[in-house]
Amino acid sequence: MKLHYPITLIFLSTIFSHTLMAMESNLIQNIVLSGNESFSDEQIHAKMKTEIGANYDEEVLKQDFERIIEFYRKHGFQFARIDEMRQLIKEFADGVFLHIYIDEGTIGEISVEGNTRTKDYVIIRELLFQVGDTYTVEDELESERILRRKSYLGTAEIEATWDVETMSVTIHVQVSDLWSFIPALDLPAFGQGSSNFLMQIADSNLFGSGNRLRFRYQIINEDGEKTRSLVQSRYTVPRLSDSYWEFDGQYTQKREGDSWEMRLRRPQYSLKTRWSADLSISESFDEIRWYEHGKKTDTFDRSRQSHSGQITRYFGDRHRQTQLSFWTLSRRSKFTQIEKLAPSDADFQDRNIKMVGILIGRRNVDFVRTRFLNQMGRVEDVGIGYGYSVSLGRASPLFGSDRSDTSVSLRFFLSEAHEDLFFLNAQTGLTTRFADKDSIFNTSVKLTRKDLFHQTLAAQVSTMMQFGLKGESQIILGGLNGLRGYDSRQFSGENMLLFNIESRTIFRGGAFRKLENWIVLGSAVFADVGYVWNGEEFDLREPKRSVGFGLRVSIPKLSGSRIYRFDLAFPLDNPEESSRNPVFTYGVGHVF
């Protein structure tokens, strides 16, 4: 037995050595990840049980793959997969080496259908992804919202599918073009020694490029006056050289003088855009009118030269963002009185303001898709969430300003939705200038309720109050400002409180359903209650009320999807007995 003992030890040692070598050859020595452009190696490894130093187990690795794919799809990568055809598992004497390829869902083809006038590339460039990019659900949804915001497009739907032949994502964009070319012609009208001729053309999708053009030519001939030919033109290029920079230029001839404006801006095109900029320069000549007790008392010519700039940086993600802006403003205003009809408080001051400032804001935003809320049948993307901002500006003679001043502006908004039935939108703002001791406060709260029969009940309360601006600014309340049934500028003051409620109904079914591709009809029943006052003169017992009903018309194929409003309103508190007859008004868009 003693002679065989060393042999036994050698035999056992050999078996143990081979076992140890086998165990070492099964250990994972390295794991290499490829293709994970959207997430770091650490984030992927955190989802895996297979790790360096552990024994290689094929079943555990398959479970890891499932967890990785689940992680990707939770973040909107609908077509993410593990490319097992390129997966490498190499076993050496000293262990196992893994090379894992992740395909996050690469886009291989983008096609467009339904556009008869708009060029394909104009639509494709608006998408947040191109061929070769990675597809995500959030990019698809936001791209749809971007397309629906275009005034020359009606519907916009994106469908993504997996192509097993090319092993890539195929994007199909379905849109519909709207009528964007809108000419207008007013033949010469004669009356009381005057004549007028007007010609206008407007196109929000010039030659299918997405550029906007408007040209207006007017001839005015009055007895004793020189015939005037007035021109107005505007041209907008939303994507300069296919970049995100937008150019907007306009020129207008008026009696007071020629006005012009040029603007170059880079908007926050997408919620994942990290910065934006806005530069503008303008010179304008306008006629300013002052009213008291519903009567015009003064007329002024105002000349204004201004230029401004702002650059903004955004931090956060698509849903929660912090905004930091630096801005500058230069504005010179001069007033010349050209008419005095009655004594008034009008006291406009010439100003030369040079100001620099900073804005800090925060917002939490998301979107819900609905119909029959503000439009008459179109798909609507309604933002929900909240946000607030504070802007601090400083004017100083060091910058060339006519005086030192500090301006503070506060803004807050809140929007909520409940089960696609109730929608709440609230906004408030306060601006204060310390040197001039003046402030402007405004707020509005709108509540909208929908039902299944395409009937919408909308109610709004809004207010605007001014302090320290006596003679420099006034609030007008009337037919053009939400108080239907009264003259457009019948009431004026420093403060305003307004209530509106409206029941809107869309006519559907029967003959209306056959027409809805061309024209959509609806009706509204409404009531308006307004107050306007100076200082502390508010009296709850002296409202300005009106009730009425109206017709709503929308042409779905027309650019902008405008709603044309025809209302017959009955004033209940008109101070003039002869003016208590119903008033017919026409307008574009809802009153609120």
DSSP state string for 192-246 = TTEEEEEEEEEESSGGGSS-EEEEEEEEEEETTS--EEEEEEEEEESSGGGSS-E
Ramachandran area for residue 294 (φ above 0: left; ψ -120 to 50: alpha; else beta) = left
Residue 20 has pLDDT above 50, yes or no: no
Distance CA 78, CA 105 (A): 7
AA identity, residue 223: D
Distance CA 306, CA 146 (A): 31
Reported confidence tier of residue 14, pLDDT bands at 50, 70, 90: low
Reported confidence tier of residue 24, pLDDT bands at 50, 70, 90: low
Q: Where are the domains of the chain?
A: 5-103, 107-177
Give the pLDDT of residue 104.
96
Using DSSP's 3-state secondary structure scheme, residue 393 falls into: strand
Q: Which two tokens stand for residue 433?
A: 């200038």
Residue 17 has pLDDT above 50, yes or no: no
Residue 2 has pLDDT above 80, yes or no: no
Give the pLDDT of residue 192.
56
What own/partner pairs with CB < 8 Å and gap ≥ 24 does 564-569 have?
A: 564/588, 565/524, 565/589, 565/590, 565/591, 567/484, 567/524, 567/526, 569/479, 569/484, 569/485, 569/526, 569/528
Do the two domains 5-103 and 107-177 of this chain adopt the same fold? Answer: yes
Using DSSP's 3-state secondary structure scheme, residue 534 falls into: coil
Residue 390, strand partner residues: 360, 410
Distance CA 286, CA 304 (A): 8
Quickly count: other Cβ atoms within 10 Å of residue 96's Cβ: 20
Distance CA 325, CA 390 (A): 10
Give the pLDDT of residue 579.
64
Give the pLDDT of residue 21.
45
Reported confidence tier of residue 89, pLDDT bands at 50, 70, 90: confident
Give yes or no for a contact between 382 and 423, defined as CB atoms under 8 angstroms apart.
yes
- Considering only CA atoms, which of 478, 476, 477, 483 is closest in space to residue 547? 483
* pLDDT tens string 543-581: 999 999 999 999 999 998 789 999 999 999 987 765 678
Give the pLDDT of residue 3.
44
Phi, psi of 499 (to 5 degrees): -115, 135
Lowest mean pLDDT among 97-106, 220-229, 251-260: 220-229
Distance CA 421, CA 418 (A): 6
Reported confidence tier of residue 196, pLDDT bands at 50, 70, 90: confident
Q: Which two tokens stand for residue 121?
A: 């590339």
Report how far apart, in Å, the C-alpha atoms of 364 and of each of 64, 444, 571 are: 34, 20, 42
Report how far apart, in Å, the C-alpha atoms of 562 and of each of 155, 174, 481, 514, 558 are: 15, 22, 19, 20, 8
Give the pLDDT of residue 12.
47
Phi, psi of 212 (to 5 degrees): -120, 140
CA 227 to chain CA centroid, Å, is: 43
Lowest mean pLDDT among 218-232, 271-285, 436-450, 562-576: 218-232
Give the pLDDT of residue 187.
67
What is the average per-residue pLDDT within 400-417?
96
DSSP code, position 79 = T
Reported confidence tier of residue 8, pLDDT bands at 50, 70, 90: low
What is the average per-residue pLDDT within 144-148?
96
What is the average per-residue pLDDT within 340-369?
95
Q: Which two tokens stand for residue 214?
A: 């408007």
- Percentage of the chain lying above the pLDDT 70 cut: 93
Distance CA 562, CA 567 (A): 16
What is the average per-residue pLDDT within 580-592?
89
Residue 550, strand partner residues: 524, 567
Give the pLDDT of residue 114.
96
Give yes or no for a contact between 526 and 502, defined as CB atoms under 8 angstroms apart.
yes
Cβ-in-10-Å burial (0-12, 13-18, 19+) of 552 comes to: buried
Reported confidence tier of residue 190, pLDDT bands at 50, 70, 90: low
Give the pLDDT of residue 194.
66
Residue with more model confidence, 525 or 93: 525
Give the pLDDT of residue 6.
56
Q: What is the mean pLDDT of the chain?
A: 91
| CATH T-level assignment (fold) for domain 5-103 | Ubiquitin-like (UB roll) (3.10.20)
Report how far apart, in Å, the C-alpha atoms of 470 and of each of 80, 422, 432, 440 are: 64, 40, 15, 12
Reported confidence tier of residue 19, pLDDT bands at 50, 70, 90: very low
Reported confidence tier of residue 224, pLDDT bands at 50, 70, 90: low
Distance CA 346, CA 289 (A): 9
Give the pLDDT of residue 574.
84
Q: Which two tokens stand for residue 338?
A: 């050209």
* pLDDT tens string 115-137: 999 999 999 999 999 999 999 99
Give the pLDDT of residue 514.
82
Half-sphere exposure in the Cβ direction for 488 (13 Å, CA): 6
Angle among Cα 213, 242, 170 to the nearest 5 degrees reads: 115
| CATH T-level assignment (fold) for domain 107-177 | Ubiquitin-like (UB roll) (3.10.20)
Reported confidence tier of residue 186, pLDDT bands at 50, 70, 90: confident
* pLDDT tens string 528-548: 999 999 988 899 999 999 999
Cβ-in-10-Å burial (0-12, 13-18, 19+) of 269 comes to: middle
* pLDDT tens string 366-376: 999 998 899 89
